Chain A
Amino acid sequence: MTAVRIPAVLRPAVGGEKELDIDGATVGEVVNTLAERFPSLRDQLLTGDGQLNRFVNVYVNGQDVRYLDGLGTKVEPRDEVRLLPAMAGG
């Protein structure tokens, strides 16, 4: 199980949870599991062909997965996965 931090803007889609423990050996598996459990998250996280939306960044232990192996980035049980959409409020 990998801890996934859910940003405030996505929390309504997961019942208000701030952090969820999700199974998966890669970022892609974790994201897909999330999207299956919480279907309204799917459109917010993934494009039609299953790629990460470019306005959502995913970090594993503080590193952007775009500069690791993308959705193929391996995750271990103690890793922290963080979803981070852009926000504009000022």
Chain B
Amino acid sequence: MPKSYADLLREARATVPEVTPAEVAQIRETPSTNVTVVDVREASEWEQGHLPGAQHISKSYLEQQIEGVVPDRDRSVVLYCAGGVRSLFAAQTLREMGYSDVRSMSGGFQAWKTQGLPWKMPAVLRPDQKQRYSRHLLIPEVGIDGQAKLLDSKVLLIGAGGLGSPAALYLAAAGVGTIGIVDFDVVDASNLQRQVIHTTDRIGEKKVESARRTLTALNPDVTVVAHEEMLVADNVERIIAGYDVVLDGTDTFETRYILNDAAVAANVAVVHASVFRFEGQLTVFQPYEGPCYRCLYPTPPPPELAPGCSVAGVLGVVPGIMGLLQANETLKLLLGIGDTLAGRLLLFDALDGAFSELKLKRDPACPVCSDAAVEARKAGRPLAAASVGGETPFVLGGSLASPAEEARA
């Protein structure tokens, strides 16, 4: 006996319980209820707006994709479509698949909106962006929302050198929408052994301009902001303002302390790396949640104990590896996924081919990030001002290299 559409709909209504939009809104507000709301409309409808927090599976992919979204057959599931019909049929399918608590929202998204309940527009990528970032979109932890977040993000690189070059390339490729670069130097032939963002024909060109050309050629979605100046105590606050994450890839202690103090005050995370010959150190300074640079190293070493790359040399791949690990930490911070290296110092030894990890703690007496330091800053009397990187910046001394040579390395 053939069945009409009306017959099928009647059967679905008889087997699938329905909930009103008001009831769904109430269920979602009750913290103890674990319910997954699934939008079964087509992608083009989803892009016009959807319930906040809903998952999207087009009805045509329901059987294939539901187990990825709701693996637990006993979990409560509410389905909705535009008017409440497709979700009834979809719910029947889920019941056949063994889902024990599936309901359909009566009246669908139209009724939800008519009743003035909250909804949101999803992040939308252009077709060319969907293609470019497809490998990100396939990862559930990134997806369209994560990619949109990256495109909206602003990351500042201190230095377009050994660490900054690889980090900038991969952050640009990943679609970080705004990349600021602080560098006052020009490309030198001796940079090219590791600073892969620059090229031989750009020797003598400003590093920020060379970096901009490379990054925008790689990904036109990226806006490169060139800060062609040396980071100093007088401009640091202005330069870092508005950035979500800062990558420290400088070559001097002075700049590292100046950046640290300003970033702690501005509550901006700094992804820190430094290199020496075959070795690298990496951590994340997340203000007030983990230690800051001064907690780790309260004072800089004398220059003879801490030569920069221009004096001591460095195996080119070491900043390459450490710079990419900085990019990795940055992406995690921007996306809010994974465990960052805050409170952990990762050491890399290229000759051993080994990583090791040290535990870092906040110094309760830190002149920059301790409670007392915060109070002092509020009162206009910062504790760190008298020491390194404050009002009287210390000088590394001229025995090994001039500050300009140091910074260039």
Across-interface contacts of B52 in A (CB, < 8 A):
none
In the bound complex, how far is the Cα of B359 from the Cα of A80, in angstroms? Answer: 14
Q: Is B214 an interface residue (CB 8 A)?
A: no
Cβ contacts under 8 Å, B359 to chain A: 62-64
Chain A contact surface mostly: mixed
Q: Is residue A7 within 8 Å, beta carbon to beta carbon, of the partner chain? A: yes
Contact residue among A8, A54, A82, A88 (Cβ-Cβ distance under 8 Å from B256): A88
- Quick one: which of B328-366 are within 8 Å of A by CB? 345, 347, 356-361, 363
Report A42-67 CB contacts with B as 1/0, cut-off 8 Å: 00100000000111110100111011
A90 at interface by CB-CB < 8 Å: yes
Q: Are A55 and B297 in contact (CB under 8 A)?
A: yes
Q: How far is the CA of A88 from the CA of B253 in the complex (A)?
A: 6
Residues of A within 8 A of B302 (CB): 55
Q: Is the CB of A64 within 8 A of B298?
A: no
**Quick check: A7 and B249 within 8 Å, CB to CB?**
no
**In the complex, are the beta carbons of A90 and B276 less than 8 A apart?**
no
* Cα-based distance from A7 to B278 in the complex (angstroms): 10
Q: CB of B88 within 8 A of chain A?
A: no
B253 touches A62 (CB 8 A): no
Say which residue of B251, B277, B300 sits within 8 Å of A90 (CB atoms).
B251
Nearest CB in chain A: distance from B207 CB, A: 13
Interface pair A85/B305, CB less than 8 Å apart: yes
The reply to whether A90 and B162 contact each other, CB–CB distance below 8 Å, is yes
Residue among B297, B307, B357 with max Cβ neighbours from chain A (10 Å): B297
A85 to B298, CA, bound (A): 11
B274 touches A87 (CB 8 A): yes
Could you jot down 30 A-B contacts, CB within 8 Å? A9-B305, A9-B306, A9-B307, A10-B305, A54-B297, A55-B305, A62-B356, A62-B358, A64-B360, A64-B361, A82-B358, A84-B281, A84-B345, A86-B297, A86-B300, A86-B301, A86-B306, A87-B281, A88-B251, A88-B300, A88-B306, A89-B307, A89-B319, A89-B409, A90-B159, A90-B161, A90-B163, A90-B274, A90-B308, A90-B319
